[in-house]
Chain A
């Protein structure tokens, strides 16, 4: 049973927003219905507690206790200089969101090839409502129990829309910078993203989540993705927000025949990060990579909960999550491979590895296989341990002092999963972020 007081701020927000009639796409019946369903289901489910199985290891009490106000448009306008880039100032394409809203002035979209459209959710509702009504809320269908997804549906206002038409290749990476900006009172927003790759198209999307200002923030994002037949999506994410940030991200993706979804997420920031990632391999010979790394210290908490569904024969997936924790840093990995009865010759492998760099660090890992087909190759594994003493001594015996030896060993450990990123410049950028984190003084 949901506690009334915890839900109140959000239901009030919903009433205020719908009452004012200023919500984007307010006149669209399908969107109105999605919002109504959203607030209703959220009201029934409430903010998840550890009693809900998939939230067993992640407690949202601290989030409930914070009085978040809805982030208003135009509250904070950072300058271009203060918004960092993973792909370089001149390279690629860039779209910037501040507290969930598009900042066109900070974006760089003029070099996109014909057939690739990168815009905001609010704009797309005006310009291409058909694309949105075809996909928004539909890709995610069938997950009626996800409270945070429904909260997003109720309160969504803006977000990213990427649509790449059939056969079009976006060669350079697209960087999506999401700035969480709060100086004073705690602010929340609910961005809604849609990525549609038509058949045989290709794009590389890299999300860069950062903070400005020292206030508490809560981003409750939902991303819906469809990768059409023969299309390839490289989707990377850096969560580098401040330790005052709550970050919940629910992703639903559908991967078509011969299509490839290549996902990687690095979490170094945040107070509490939850990535709820769900992929459906719906076409034969579809292939998914769902990899990630995390570094957490202090009281940071990072939860990667993933579900990969093999729905048809001859699909493959590889999933590796590696992380290192120091201080009271905590991580959760819950990964499920679900092989449907028809999904013969599924080839699925999953691995979770954690390095505990302090006595108080904690990892809860729960790899799971649920297999209903009989001709499959599936495996899973999970390890947790300290830095290998012999290796540490080896480095130190060469004159390398302990802190540097430790950094090199963690880099080597995480490098094993970062190298799965196919774009070399991004691989370097992610490794640099890891090195920076490790070079900061530990607590």
Chain B
């Protein structure tokens, strides 16, 4: 069974159709990349998959491990194992990362009918995850994303991903605003979280990120549809040729 199966997905925002019959299938443990020019609908796809308000799905299906999630609230999808790393993570002053993650993990456990985690054990595990991901433990005591640099915010997203242990992680333009060192650290973190049970959907505008997070499949998205799919070499081809050719193909 696929981890994620998107069938002929159509969605609009304020009456304007953004996703125009999109198809995509991701198997367990696979890392797929979606590349596309600005305005092709990449972020809309990430938001529709995770249940953000403001989009109207007008057709198609999204099956996550065989279950249609389109009617579910964002928190229900998270409880099933979906995770979105935000392009612009939100600051929550006064709420420490530890408190926030404990709240999140316990909410998910509660939704799954599991017991609350032991607070001390959880804090210990978080520290170990920081070490593993090469993230300063200071971050755990700081307010979520508050006053973080661009790189810190993205590292914090990876830390959250590690703590929530999703089955499918969607990374929305995780490379945006990162210098090369930050990009390496974040990519290393993501790579450490790759596993046969965890799939990833990496959304990016640039091929650069895919030098570090090497995908199993690459899809080109233009005007709300996947117009071409291939292996990692497709990303290199895109880098050389640009999106123009694909845009024409889509129009033809």
**A400 in the interface, Cβ–Cβ < 8 Å?**
yes
- The residues in B between 41 and 99 inclusive whose CB is less than 8 angstroms from any CB of A are 50-54, 73-75, 77-79, 83-84, 86, 88-90, 92-95
A396 touches B78 (CB 8 A): yes
**B23 in the interface, Cβ–Cβ < 8 Å?**
no
CA distance A395 to B73 in the complex (A): 12
**Also in contact, A397 and B103, with CB within 8 A (given A408-B95, A415-B94):** no
Partner of B93, one of A400, A401, A416: A416
**A390 in the interface, Cβ–Cβ < 8 Å?**
yes
B83 touches A397 (CB 8 A): yes
**B221 in the interface, Cβ–Cβ < 8 Å?**
no
**Also in contact, A411 and B94, with CB within 8 A (given A398-B104, A402-B73):** yes
Complex contacts, B52 vs chain A, CB 8 Å: 393, 397
CA distance A213 to B86 in the complex (A): 50
B104 touches A400 (CB 8 A): yes
Main secondary structure of the interface of A (DSSP, over half): helix
Partner of B164, one of A396, A398, A402, A419: A398
**A391 in the interface, Cβ–Cβ < 8 Å?**
yes
Partner of A394, one of B90, B108, B111: B90
A404 touches B107 (CB 8 A): yes
A408 touches B50 (CB 8 A): no
B94 touches A399 (CB 8 A): no
CA distance A405 to B77 in the complex (A): 15
Partner of A399, one of B86, B88, B95, B111: B111
B-facing mask of A405-422, CB < 8 A → 1, else 0? Answer: 100110110011001000
Complex contacts, B107 vs chain A, CB 8 Å: 398-401, 404
**B225 in the interface, Cβ–Cβ < 8 Å?**
no
**B204 in the interface, Cβ–Cβ < 8 Å?**
no
Complex contacts, A388 vs chain B, CB 8 Å: 90
Complex contacts, A416 vs chain B, CB 8 Å: 93-94
**A389 in the interface, Cβ–Cβ < 8 Å?**
yes
Nearest-Cβ distance from residue B64 to partner chain A, whole angstroms = 14
Partner of A412, one of B73, B86, B93, B105: B93
CA distance A396 to B103 in the complex (A): 11
A409 touches B74 (CB 8 A): no
Residues of B in contact (CB 8 Å), total 30
B53 touches A397 (CB 8 A): no
Centre residue among A388, A389, A390, A399 by max chain B CB count within 10 A: A399
**Also in contact, A412 and B92, with CB within 8 A (given A393-B52, A394-B86):** yes
Nearest-Cβ distance from residue B247 to partner chain A, whole angstroms = 29
B164 touches A399 (CB 8 A): yes
Nearest-Cβ distance from residue A9 to partner chain B, whole angstroms = 46
CA distance A404 to B92 in the complex (A): 14
CA distance A53 to B111 in the complex (A): 52
**B160 in the interface, Cβ–Cβ < 8 Å?**
yes
Q: State the total of A-B contacts with C-beta under 8 angstroms.
A: 76
Complex contacts, A408 vs chain B, CB 8 Å: 92, 95, 100, 103
B92 touches A391 (CB 8 A): yes
Partner of B160, one of A398, A401, A409: A398
Complex contacts, A389 vs chain B, CB 8 Å: 53-54
Centre residue among A397, A405, A416 by max chain B CB count within 10 A: A397
**Also in contact, A396 and B73, with CB within 8 A (given A389-B53, A404-B103, A416-B93):** yes
A409 touches B92 (CB 8 A): yes
A399 touches B92 (CB 8 A): no
B95 touches A393 (CB 8 A): no
Nearest-Cβ distance from residue B83 to partner chain A, whole angstroms = 7
A399 touches B93 (CB 8 A): no
Partner of B94, one of A391, A400, A412: A412
Nearest-Cβ distance from residue A35 to partner chain B, whole angstroms = 47
A390 touches B90 (CB 8 A): yes
Nearest-Cβ distance from residue B117 to partner chain A, whole angstroms = 13
Centre residue among B50, B53, B107 by max chain A CB count within 10 A: B107
A415 touches B84 (CB 8 A): no
Partner of B108, one of A395, A399, A412, A415: A399
Residue of A nearest to B111 (CB): A399
Residue of B nearest to A389 (CB): B53
A400 touches B75 (CB 8 A): yes
Complex contacts, B93 vs chain A, CB 8 Å: 412, 415-416
B95 touches A412 (CB 8 A): yes
A393 touches B74 (CB 8 A): yes
Chain B residues near A (Cβ < 8 Å): 50-54, 73-75, 77-79, 83-84, 86, 88-90, 92-95, 100, 103-105, 107-108, 111, 160, 164
Closest 9 CB pairs of A and B: A415-B94, A399-B78, A399-B108, A396-B74, A398-B104, A394-B90, A399-B107, A391-B90, A396-B75
Additional A-B contact list (17), CB under 8 Å, known A394-B89, A397-B52: A391-B92, A393-B52, A393-B53, A395-B92, A396-B78, A397-B78, A399-B79, A399-B104, A400-B75, A400-B107, A401-B73, A401-B107, A402-B73, A404-B107, A405-B75, A412-B93, A415-B95
A-B contact pairs, 26 of them (CB 8 A): A389-B53, A389-B54, A393-B74, A396-B73, A397-B51, A397-B77, A397-B83, A397-B84, A398-B78, A398-B164, A399-B75, A399-B78, A399-B104, A399-B107, A400-B75, A400-B103, A400-B104, A400-B107, A401-B73, A404-B107, A405-B75, A408-B103, A411-B94, A412-B95, A415-B94, A419-B94
